[in-house]
Structure 1
Amino acid sequence: MDKRNLKRLVTLLSVPLVCSLPINVTASDKIIWGGYFSAGVGKTNKEDTSYNTPVGGTDFDDSVSFEPLTRIGLQGIIPIDDNMRGTFQITGRNDSVTSTSSTNGKKFNAEFEWANITYDVSDELSLQAGKFVLPVYYYSDFYNVGLAYDWVAPPAEVYVAPSATEGVLARYSTYVGDYELTAQAWSSAYTGVGIQERDVLGMALSFGKEELLFRFMTLEGELKFNAAGDYTDFQYTAFALVSEIGNFRFVSELATADVDNNTDARDSWYASVAYRLGKFTPVLTYSTNEDNPFLSSQSPSYFYAKEAYTYGLSYELSIQSKLKLEYKDIKMDDESENASHNLISASIDTVF
């Protein structure tokens, strides 16, 4: 997707939003609606193998499944006055972790993924409070919106952080010549299924333009992986390099997780190249993550060491929809007969 359409998606679909506004909005008596929908299918080629996706609540396995990629998001902006607005996103996906359905423990759940109030101090500075997007990665603001990228889903070897968090965030954006400079700083806490984070402080900086952009993010705080466990200090750092020249696009991200009670930091990274040929965009991606004994013991499907070669093809059905096909060659860092397996998947992604 070219830079102009990507910025349009960010503006329309990724403005994080509000939680406790009254239903009868009086400032403008209207809500600005937008949203996205993705439907996908996939399977691995061997029994007793699986692969997680950062956009879904379930993993792929050796049976044909629509659950990991299928999701819908409904987003609204509620103008309050000239400087303040509430925003929210309701996301629906199949989540086996939190479901109590009698059908294999799975059902389609909808929840407020984001909900916050934004106050524009000036044209350059804004403040947010509530539940907002956690700006860890380059695609964090819109990684659920499949139209924003040419993969079926972002690389799971890198994209492991929660998508949203609760707290306060300040954002400053300006131009230095032809280059855009954006700085974000936040304080937050997070409670999810099997993981809790507290006293988190983070910052992110990006600098560049369409041809070349650099991004840096760092956060630190305390986490634990179960209610009975103890909190431990952690630090997470991520770098991104993005270049788009003509029809060529290159994206690479590196992330490092450092947990205080383990001496081995966990590095993960990917590099992806794409070239647009009319309505078709072939994509080649290499992604990998190292093992960290502590993290792997807490959540094996997300943190176990593996690498993947991904061969994809995206076709632009219209300016608001894409069809994607993808073949992933996965190699786990163990000696089992299923250490190497494949994942075949496809998706249709739209915005409305």
Structure 2
Amino acid sequence: MTLGKYLSGVLALLSLGVPALAQDKGEDFLKFSGFGTLGGAHSSEKNADFTSTAVQPDGTGFSRVTSYSIDKKVGLQANAHIAEWLSAVVQGVSEYRYDGTFNPYINMAFLKAQVLPELSIRAGRMPFNAYLISDYQKVGYTYTWVRPPVEVYQFNPIFNYDGADITWQKTLGGVAFTVQAFAGSNNVKLVQRGAVTDLDAKELVGAWMSANHGNSLYRIYYLQGKLTANNPALNVVFNQIRNGIPPLGLPGNPALASQLELQDDRVTYMSVGYQYDPGNWFITAEAARNGGDENAVIHATAAYITGGYRLCDWTPYLTVAQRKNDSPTTNPNPIANALLSGGNRADQSFSVGLRWDFMKNMDLKIQYDQFKNDTNAYGALSNNQPAFQKGQSYSVITANLDFVF
């Protein structure tokens, strides 16, 4: 699919989301902007695929020697200034999705009411503010890496939610505070074990706070909700654990099946972030943790730290990241044991990259990632083949072109 077709599809979505109210409102009523990323990635692991998100069915490695899909995207955004106190945002994005297509979709579509100078309310489809760069995570030009560190940013596969939030902003004693509370729900489709998982997230409630003081930015985030996952292949496994396999003398264990599968399980998610940026150099770090009392397989912790230095139009940078499973990875039940060992994503990585801002609103990035999977873990890889060996090292090389307009 060509770039022109991507833009045409996204424009069609935007035309549905933003009515033609601009005719009598003047030029400032409606403003359009856009962004995109083009590039390719190569992995040294030939028996599994490296992908940039958990929603992609394949990537570089086994499926393709070099993938030009995993980071490629284009988006358009419309901002409408309806009244002094009311505005609207619609953003459409085309990127590689769970079904192997680039079909565009609405990533954001919300109304914002500025009810007081320091207080605003939004309702609609909004970005999931779990990270430092959540508001602009799709816009590669706005951050230094070729992609956000997958150890942390694949941690939570939800990019947006449908609901409402309330935000308070105030500067006190030279510190700019932002506090937001939100509630909503969403449904996202992931690719696991060669089949699509329908992940239903509901009763999502949470809050986050940031504090900006001088060159430092501090951020803390908390979320809780209920998750239900439906995957045909995994459902078969859970039924085998629940009912057993009598011909093989394996008894059923309903309690273990309930503990392993996600069925209206209450989960929690927490993250903290810090950024120091005096201008010529910067440090960014984030840590996240999944939890929940009702499920045995979602507990994990991940973190990264990135440092870089700006030399005119050039920005070299280094990143160290790690993800650890806090859930059990073995079980006496052989079926559960196979399931747990196959779901172990623990790994660590070291990345070195270079960003070149060679012209206005465009950059070129090159990044080398060295991953080391923990013993009995497949790390950030999917589509594993029979010859794949866990606990191995592999590398990924990426070159991307980002642009905004």
User: TM-score, normalized by length of structure 2?
Assistant: 0.75
The corresponding residue for 1:74 is 76
> What secondary structure does 2:40 align onto?
strand
Q: Does residue 37 of structure 2 align to residue 38 of structure 1?
A: yes
Match of 2:120 in 1: 126
| Residue-by-residue CA offset, 1:268-288 (whole Å, 9 max, x unaligned) | 000010011111111100111
Matched length? 327
Match of 2:225 in 1: 221
What is the CA-CA distance between 1:292 and the residue it aligns to? 4.8
1:242 matched to 2:246: no
Within 2, Cα distance between the matches of 1:56 and 1:350? 23
Equivalent residue letter for 1:218: Y
Number of the residue aligned with 2:258: none
Change (3 A) 1:53 1:299: farther
Which amino acid in the other structure matches residue 120 of structure 2? S
Cα distance in 2 for residues equivalent to 1:120 and 1:299: 50
CA drift of 1:109 comes to: 1.2
Say whether residues 1:151 and 2:192 are aligned partners.
no
Residue in 1 that maps onto 2:90: 88
Structure 2: gaps of 5 or more residues: 1-13, 190-197, 236-261, 330-337, 377-388
1:304 corresponding residue in structure 2: 345
Q: In the alignment, which residue of structure 2 is the partner of 1:232?
A: 265
CA deviations 1:128-157 (Å, max 9, x no partner) are: 001001110001111111111110000111
Residue 163 of structure 1 deviates from its aligned partner by 1.1
Q: Give the drift of 1:65.
A: 0.8
Structure 1 stretch displaced more, 48-57 or 180-189? 48-57
Residue 28 to residue 294, structure 1, CA distance change in 2 (3 Å) = farther
Paired letter, 2:139: V
For residue 144 of structure 1, what is the amino acid of its counterpart? K
User: 1:237-286 CA deviation, whole Å, 9 max, x = no partner?
Assistant: 00001101231100000001002224673110000100111111111001
Aligned mates of 2:101, 2:341 — CA distance in 1:
22
TM-score (norm 1): 0.86
1:117 is aligned to 2:111: yes
Alignment of 1:1-352 (within 5 A): 22-25=19-22, 28=25, 30-54=29-53, 57-62=56-61, 63-95=65-97, 97-98=98-99, 106-160=100-154, 161=156, 162-193=158-189, 194-226=198-230, 230-262=263-295, 265-293=299-327, 304-335=345-376, 336=389, 339-352=392-405
C-alpha separation in 2, matches of 1:37 and 1:210: 31
Q: Deviations over 1:280-323 (max 9, x none)?
A: 1111001111125589959978x711111111111111231110
Q: Is the 8 A contact 2:226 2:267 kept in 1?
A: yes
CA–CA separation in structure 2 for the residues paired with 1:19 and 1:290: 43
Partner in structure 2 of residue 5 of structure 1: none
Amino acid at match of 2:46: E
CA 1:21–1:344 in 2, change beyond 3 Å: closer, same or farther?
closer
How far apart are the structure 2 equivalents of 1:18 and 1:254? Answer: 38
Per mean C-alpha deviation after superposition, the further-off stretch among 243-252 and 21-30 is: 21-30
Matched-pair contact (CA < 8 Å) for 2:118–2:170? yes
Deviation at 1:27, TM superposition (A): 6.8
Q: Give the Cα–Cα distance (whole angstroms) in 2 for the partners of residues 221 and 134 of structure 1.
A: 13
1:310–1:59 distance in 2 versus 1, CA, 3 Å: farther
Judge conservation of contact 1:218–1:236 (CA < 8 Å) in 2. Answer: yes
Deviation for aligned residue 1:332: 1.2
The alpha-carbon deviation at position 28 of structure 1 amounts to 2.1
C-alpha contact 2:265 2:295 (8 A) present in aligned 1: no
Higher helix share: 2
Cα RMSD (Å): 2.6
Q: For 1:157, what is the secondary structure of its paired residue?
A: helix
Shift in CA distance, 210/156, structure 1 to aligned 2, threshold 3 Å: farther
Match of 1:102 in 2: none
> What are the Cα deviations for residues 211-239 of structure 1, in whole angstroms up to 9, with x where unaligned?
11110000111112217752101000000
Q: Which has the larger radius of gyration?
A: 2
